Amino acid sequence: HPQLTLDVQCGLMLEGVPLLAIADEMGTPCWVVSAGTLRARAGRLLGAMAQAGLSVSPHFAVKANDHLAVLEILGQAGFGADVVSGGELLRARKAGIPASRIVFSGVGKTDAELRLALAEGIAQVNVESAEELEILSGLAVQTGREMRVLLRVNPDVDAGTHAKITTGVAGNKFGVPWDEALELYRRAAALPGVRAAGYAMHIGSQILSAAPFRAAYARMAELVRATREAGLPVSVVDCGGGLGICYRDEGEGSPDAWAGAIRAELGGLDVRLAIEPGRWIAAPAGVLLSTVVLRKAVTGGAPFIILDAAMNDLLRPSLYDAWHGIVPLSPRDAVAEPEIAAVVGPVCESGDMFAQERSLPRLERGARVAVLDTGAYGAVMSSTYNARPLAAQVLVDGDRWSVIRARQGVEALWAEDIVPERIRSPV
Ligand code: LLP
């Protein structure tokens, strides 16, 4: 984390800003994202592609972090957007990303979402089934528009990652089965309202080695050749996202190795290439600030450190057993005697925990911590479970910081509830 440093006087700093100052002023829980880190990582990824001699259209996977400020920063860095809902599409547009740089993925796009894609004139729809293809063609004809279509194929390659974030093996709901892809492409080429332009794939997330990418792209190249041999043109290949980061000690996915895999398998095909990275760019850019509500002693065992952040804020540890670093903000806490503790949230679920048997400097009631690498799949996966308002969000840029989302007010939690009259005044 080059942008995250420990200063002997100020404690943990993100870029030039002491995180304690943000926690004190904003209260906790509070998400903080570093603009400098986003820019640096976006640039590093594009640099790796260029270095490999590849010209790719980069689309940030909006699901990883859909804040308008994040999307604007990445739009300025040259990224388009990969969206999976009408809401994400409109967010990307609102953040100034041109429709011509937006691609739409997802297994269950509604008619309304497909109509929106047609009306906005986005770059392409990545179609995931025969049924969706027919529906899109019908809607395009109805509205007098044409849409570029890539078929998302399922290459049946195991990404070697957590089962809940593996998407490219047979039996997943994602994509068109490998051996049906060419026939469906032929159908797409014949249908009105859609222009079959190529293939897309995404095999999973938090992938650390180039091997699964390479295996999947090799199959993709095979499919492109077979399609061309069948007399059908192919001009675009979308390589998906999935490059992983180092949460603990697993090492970070290498943009150069990823670019190398793309070049080795797809570089000679004379197609336009696209990528859809999310996590690699955004995860290390963000932290979640939290305060120790209390220490709960356990006779003969490790104490519970109970935070004011919970699974409703950061779901990843509960959902995927994900490991996130936890670091004290104050310089004094950082050097406290280490102990083994369990770090949990206050929500009424045993699964509401951030770390089990973790060695940490001893944290007293009131101590502040940062949960690391939460810039991707963090705030976007929050809920208001247990009537806990959504946390505030802050953007750090150099030595300045600004609030980019106010803490949700508690009234907002019930503002849209409607109590029927009959219940309010029973007859
Ligand atoms: N493209 C498509 C079609 C996707 O489904 C995804 C992620 C991406 C791109 C971006 O993948 P990335 O580069 O971020 O790995 N909530 C989970 C991750 C779910 C990823 C879903 N798809 C987590 O917190 O680990």
User: Residue 204 gets which letter from DSSP?
Assistant: B
Closest-lying ligand 1 atom to the alpha carbon of residue 283: 14
pLDDT of residue 182: 97
pLDDT of residue 168: 67
Q: How far is ligand 1, taken at its centre, from the CA of residue 228, in Å?
A: 30
Catalytic (active site) residue 30: no
Closest-lying ligand 1 atom to the alpha carbon of residue 242: 15
Q: Which two tokens stand for residue 371?
A: 């949960």
Spell out the domain ranges in the chain. 4-34+283-414, 35-282
Helix (H) / strand (E) containing 83: strand 80-83
- The dotted CATH code for 4-34+283-414 is 2.40.37.10
ipTM of the complex: 0.99
Tens-level pLDDT at each residue, the chain (427 residues): 889 999 999 999 999 999 999 999 999 999 999 999 999 999 999 999 999 999 999 999 999 999 999 999 999 999 999 999 999 999 999 999 999 999 999 999 999 999 999 999 999 999 999 999 999 999 999 999 999 999 999 988 877 777 666 666 667 788 899 999 999 999 999 999 999 999 999 999 999 999 999 999 999 999 999 999 999 999 999 999 999 999 999 999 999 999 999 999 999 999 999 999 999 999 999 999 999 999 999 999 999 999 999 999 999 999 999 999 999 999 999 889 999 999 999 999 999 999 999 999 999 999 999 999 999 999 999 999 999 999 999 999 999 999 999 999 999 999 999 999 999 888 7
Closest residue CA from atom 19 of ligand 1: 165
The reply to whether 72 sits in an annotated binding site is no
Q: In terms of Cα–Cα distance, which of 117, 276, 271 is closest to 194? A: 117
The reply to whether 93 sits in an annotated binding site is no
To test the pocket of ligand 1, the residue of 102, 279, 280 to mutate (highest count of ligand atoms within 8 Å of its CB) is: 279
Q: How far is ligand 1, taken at its centre, from the CA of residue 62, in Å?
A: 9
Q: Which residues line ligand 1 (CB under 6 A)?
A: 61, 64, 82, 105, 165, 202, 205-206, 240-243, 276-280, 316, 320, 377
Q: Which of 30, 239, 246, 348 is catalytic?
A: 348
Predicted TM-score of the model (pTM): 0.97
Q: How far is ligand 1, taken at its centre, from the CA of residue 283, in Å?
A: 12
pLDDT of residue 2: 81
Architecture of domain 35-282: Alpha-Beta Barrel (3.20)
